[in-house]
Structure formats: structure tokens, C-alpha cells
Amino acid sequence: MMRRKVYITAAFCWFLLLHLFGQGTGKAYALALKGMYRNTVQQIKSADLMKMMQRHEQMLLLDARTLNEHKVSHIPGAYHAEYNKLDLKEFKAIPKDTPIVVYCSTGSRGERLGEKLQKAGYRNVYNLYGGIFEWVNQGFPVFDHLGKTTRVHAHSLSWGMWLHEGEKTFHEAA
């Protein structure tokens, strides 16, 4: 736990320095993610997930965020499966070799959900590296109940600093 705090603090300081000198935040975000992740679930990059989606590959895409975050926007085809409220009984009919991609804002809650699924015997579980923030930062689309949107629930002011594209919101979905 202490190591995570050190990584996150270092990443925040790195972000401030890069911001002051006009550099991007890619390295700072990578450092923050390194501190958050336990590396217990294989990661998948946004571009690779998009390729899978474009090839119409069979997979289950799960949004580990709160229902409110999911309603603001989500990756197309994602099902809401809040990481700390998931009932694995709902997955009985899903074959254990089904590719499952999980995500949240930055990847930490997605990884927790992925761990639960792996513990339940699912063998092809992937965590979206950088979460929906990285997805949107890479220019990929998100949707709400009305269709394509630019709004993304930024989770909190401190985490919202990693979201550079799209419209940050901290409010409930309309």
C-alpha cells in the first residue's frame, strides 16, 4: 500500500513538472498506473481492443465502474458490472474460455473485477490498460443512452487530471 502511495505521489509530481514545461502526461500516467496495478490480470491496450471490436470478435466487455459512471458514458457494447457488487452467479452460462475485457476509469477497479473472474475460473480475462480515460485519450468513442457522446465521468478531481480528451463531468447522467 505504501509503495502505491509513493508511485501515485511521484506520478502527480511528474505530471506537474511535465505540465509546467509543456510536455505530455503519458509518462506520468504510466507511472501512476504502475503504482495502481497489481499485474494480476493481463492488460490489453485500447488500440488492440478496438481492433477486436472491428473484427467483431466474440468477447464480453464489462464496465467495472458505478452505474452512474456507466450511464454518463461507456465503451460501445459494454455491460455494467460494478466490481464490488458483481454476482458471479449471473455468469454461469458463460463458457470459462470466453474472452472477457474489463475496464473502469483508469484500470484499478477493472483489475479487481478481473481477479474475481479469474478466481471463478475464467481463463481469458483482460484489463483495459488506462481504462476508459486512456480509451478516450486515444480518440476512441464512448456512448450514453442517446448515442455517441463526448462526456466522461472523471471519477474525481484528482483522477480527472488524466482525462485529456472528451468533456469531464462529475455529475450524474441526465
Q: Comparing C-alpha atoms, which of 122, 132, 112, 12 is closest to residue 59?
A: 122
**Eight-state DSSP code of residue 33:** H
Residue 75 backbone phi and psi in degrees, to 5: -70, 140
pLDDT for position 171: 75
Residue-averaged pLDDT of the chain: 87
The answer on pLDDT for 106 being more than 90 is yes
Q: Which residues, 6+ apart, have CB-to-CB distance to 22 below 8 Å?
A: none
Specify which of 87-91, 112-116, 162-166 reaches the highest per-range mean pLDDT: 112-116
Contact 172, 68 (CB under 8 A): yes
Other Cβ atoms within 10 Å of 69 Cβ, number = 24
Q: Mutual orientation of helices 2-20 and 26-36 as an angle, nearest 10°?
A: 170
Q: What is the CATH number of domain 39-169?
A: 3.40.250.10
Paired residues of 142 in beta bridges: 149
Of the given ranges (10-14, 28-32, 140-144, 161-165), which has the lowest mean pLDDT? 10-14
Ordered alpha helix ranges (H), the chain: 2-20, 26-36, 46-54, 67-72, 108-119, 131-137, 157-160
The three cell numbers locating residue 61:
466487455
Query: What is the dihedral sign for C-alpha 142, 146, 149, 152?
Result: negative
Beta pairing, strands 167-169 & 100-103:
unpaired
